[in-house]
Amino acid sequence: MNEFSISRDITQPWPAEVLTAASAFRQGDIVAQPPFFYAANSEYPVWGFTKEAAEAGDDRELLEIHEDDRPEFGIITTQSCDLTEEGAAKPKKPWLQVAPLVDARVLGHGLARDVAKGKVKYLFLVPAPDLAGEWVADLRIEVPLEKSWLVGRTPMRGFPSLEEYQQFTRRLGQLRARAAIESGVCMDLWSDLRTCLTRAGSEDPDVLDGVGRVMLRVIGERANPSAVQLVVVTAADLPNDAVKTIFERWYDDFIKFAFERGVALLPISYQPRFTPDEYERLVMLDLDDLSPDDT
């Protein structure tokens, strides 16, 4: 029997230096020169570094970027309470997660503009007051580091205010809380809407600026709903005419498709806000794919 257990192998008590170091950091703080590693199959490379390693004859499953090429900085994504475990008689969480920071200048103009507007959910603008230049957290990967790695390191601020730290926390929560869209009419709806919004954004990059989120209300089972409704979260009480025209045209085109599949497409709801209970019942539709493909 494989007796692997993280809990069984945690050294107790932890070195005081580790506890002191961890207590100095919080979620959203920046660390310098974090390691960057991941597992891959070199026979079927997806990322450029994997392909380069495979072409060089490196067929290792675990790949690590050399310290000269790894991200210059990383940002802590672990919740502050999990990071410090303050008050815990016996800490039980020996690792923290760090996402890479990238220089905003490496982003294409269109993508940088959308990141600044908060339109790309997996990229987050980090003011980094202790660093020069503009930085962006890439939340597509998080590298696990043992907390002992923090010993001897000094935290750098990712954000100048508590509110901005909290905004980063909310973004991380949104990424983890997204419900999957089931196959069927819900997936068809999002695919069709995404095409419509992408076309509108290519004609006028600023036309959707007043749209905060696009949500889906599903009546019945998600895999086989009886009715669905698009909920457009707007910055104002009512959307501007251009935004409303885009969504209403999509609605007029898709309603027949939904009807033919036995699903009622309810009129679009435009809401500047909703209650936490309402939010829990809605499915957030991802707008990342609407951004220019210039990463």
| pLDDT tens digits, one per residue of 197-249 | 888 888 888 888 878 788 899 998 877 889 999 999 887 776 788 889 999 99
Per-residue model confidence (pLDDT) at position 294: 47
Question: Has residue 289 got a pLDDT over 60?
Answer: no
CATH number assigned to the domain with residue range 185-290, chosen from the 4 options 3.40.190, 2.60.40, 3.40.50, 3.30.460: 3.30.460
Question: Has residue 34 got a pLDDT over 90?
Answer: yes
Distance between CA 260 and CA 143 in Å, rounded?
46
Distance between CA 179 and CA 66 in Å, rounded?
36
- pLDDT (average), residues 21-28: 96
- pLDDT (average), residues 122-129: 94
* pTM, full prediction: 0.79
Per-residue model confidence (pLDDT) at position 288: 60
Per-residue model confidence (pLDDT) at position 183: 65
| pLDDT tens digits, one per residue of 82-111 | 999 877 778 899 999 999 999 998 888 778
Other beta carbons less than 10 A from residue 247's beta carbon: 21
Domain boundaries, the chain: 16-36+71-177, 185-290
16-36+71-177 — its CATH code?
Answer: 2.30.30.110
Maximum average pLDDT range among 8-12, 55-59, 115-119: 55-59
Per-residue model confidence (pLDDT) at position 83: 94
Q: At what angle do helices 185-203 and 241-260 cross, to 10 degrees?
A: 150
Question: And the tokens for 144?
Answer: 């696990």
Same fold, 16-36+71-177 and 185-290: no
